[in-house]
Structure 1
């Protein structure tokens, strides 16, 4: 069991206890934190307080984080779209609507379930729920992902992501007509202080840089190519909303009146990296999914 100590700063004065703890533990939901408080795993100045306790300057908070529950992930036979595979690395084209790795509520039907059936040798660095997963894309984003088949490959691919040497290009359809041909969004991203389920551009966020260029303007929409320099959660979705051009179909960051396409119009179309063993640069391209192309054709006719 891990214990975390935190002293309330001036910026956190009068904030709810559960909100402060949630901001410290980005991987945990507010409801999970509230459960810890109910189970008396949190103390404030040695006393148990409620989730809605308003923090005071220099309050000393202790949090006992319980060991994660061991979950049983089962291999599943799936028709995976494998673009490349050798003894170290696998590149797969994930379909829209598929979750990358298991979690509570999504223990079956994920990419990891399929990968575990397809190959028995995945890196164990990220544990039982994320074997081989070096990076991920959202459930309703389609496109290319690299998967590590051993720990050496995992460490080297993760380092490339950290060093920003991985090439990642996405195709996004956004609301509005972008007037200029190219642009760069350099704005830090962190948890939305008003909604823990969302990310936002915030002053104390992690550095995030997205380069974009216009491919095609379609009536009141624009098709753009986005190249990631960093890989923050929901980065393209947050950044495009921030500059006033939210993604089409995005239920979390887009407008209420949008095209009904079952999630954001975002596709990871190009992925390039240096092979962890041979040091050869590899690059792969996956065309837009059929339903994405059909949507663009419909808009061209308007």
Structure 2
């Protein structure tokens, strides 16, 4: 099968093959790709069409077409900590200062370039499907799907709100409430292609905030907070924390000071989901990077 991605399942009742395939989350687009781009649908070792009637106990194997690597994406050798990996998913830790995907102006040095190099080196037939992106200067967990079907299932899980991402940040000031919800729509700022703002006409955005610790560094009040996203808007955490008067330290785009850290103190700390294939509950965590750890260590001294 040329190391192509395969999905096998056993049916527990008589039904049309097309219906069984749909129940396993295979999209119409994927089914068309299987039919016309070199995939196969096999029942008990024999290739069948979607009109075939299955009987209880039949074993169905879906062989997905070989994926073409992304045109224009330059594969690069790069080191990054791997937090979880199997044949369907790859979860890694991204360092700050690295863009997630390339642009026309910066086609090299991004996480996607490194992932492409890693997959190529490990003889993978997949292209790069990034499920959870991070801003250039945000560190932490990034989830990558290893094939189109996994990406489709993960995208559906994101839409359903069943992928849970937890971030940690250090913000200016002493946050008074121990926990609260920010529910404020976000839109693009009229005068900038990068900056976002709270906008009544923008897209819904919800972030929960929980105080971990209040402390001081060099006489300045700061707060270590845990944040959970219910939506995934661009710069959501940064805009929301600025909107309540507590911008992230190091985030000069949204009112933060660079005096303590030269980049926004934001780290994607935890990812929780049910694996779309194995149905195993996964909780993946990432350690603090050195710069955030150093601030928290100094806070213990200065408190």
TM-score by length of 2: 0.71
* Structure whose alpha-carbon radius of gyration is higher: 2
Q: How far is 1:258 from its partner? A: 3.6
1:180 equivalent in alignment to 2:181: no
Q: How far is 1:262 from its partner? A: 2.6
1:241 equivalent in alignment to 2:235: no
Q: How far is 1:123 from its partner? A: 5.4
Structure-2 separation of matches of 1:281 and 1:167: 12
What SS does structure 2 have at the residue aligned with 1:264? coil
Q: How far is 1:85 from its partner? A: 0.9
Q: How far is 1:292 from its partner? A: 1.0
> What is aligned with 1:270?
270
What SS does structure 2 have at the residue aligned with 1:145? strand
Which blocks of at least 5 consecutive residues in structure 2 are unaligned? 1-69
> What is aligned with 1:139?
136
Cα distance per residue 1:38-91 (max 9 Å; x no partner): xxxxxxxxxxxxxxxxxxxxxxxxxxxxxxxx9622111111211111111000
> What is aligned with 1:298?
298
1:90 equivalent in alignment to 2:90: yes
> What is aligned with 1:112?
112
Which residue, out of 199, 202, 215, partners 1:202? 199
Alpha carbons 1:140, 1:262 under 8 Å: kept: no
Alpha carbons 2:89, 2:146 under 8 Å: kept: yes
> What is aligned with 1:151?
148
> What is aligned with 1:25?
none
Which blocks of at least 5 consecutive residues in structure 1 are unaligned? 1-69, 125-130
Structure-1 separation of matches of 2:295 and 2:272: 27
Structure-2 separation of matches of 1:259 and 1:157: 39
Q: How far is 1:260 from its partner? A: 4.6
1:74 equivalent in alignment to 2:62: no
What SS does structure 2 have at the residue aligned with 1:206? coil
Alpha carbons 1:182, 1:213 under 8 Å: kept: yes
Cα distance per residue 1:8-54 (max 9 Å; x no partner): xxxxxxxxxxxxxxxxxxxxxxxxxxxxxxxxxxxxxxxxxxxxxxx
Alpha carbons 2:119, 2:126 under 8 Å: kept: no
What SS does structure 1 have at the residue aligned with 2:295? helix
Cα distance per residue 1:94-147 (max 9 Å; x no partner): 1111111111222111111111111134755xxxxxx21122000110000110
Cα distance per residue 1:247-287 (max 9 Å; x no partner): 000021124x4425231000000001221212222110111
Structure-2 separation of matches of 1:73 and 1:133: 13
Structure-1 separation of matches of 2:289 and 2:239: 23
What SS does structure 1 have at the residue aligned with 2:117? helix
Change (3 A) 1:76 1:294: same
Structure-1 separation of matches of 2:246 and 2:153: 35
Q: How far is 1:197 from its partner? A: 2.0
Change (3 A) 1:75 1:241: same
What SS does structure 2 have at the residue aligned with 1:185? strand
Alpha carbons 1:215, 1:223 under 8 Å: kept: yes
Q: Which runs of 4+ in 1 moved over 4 A?
A: none
Structure-2 separation of matches of 1:92 and 1:196: 29
Alpha carbons 2:129, 2:151 under 8 Å: kept: yes
Q: How many residues align?
A: 226
Structure-2 separation of matches of 1:122 and 1:293: 38
What SS does structure 2 have at the residue aligned with 1:157? helix
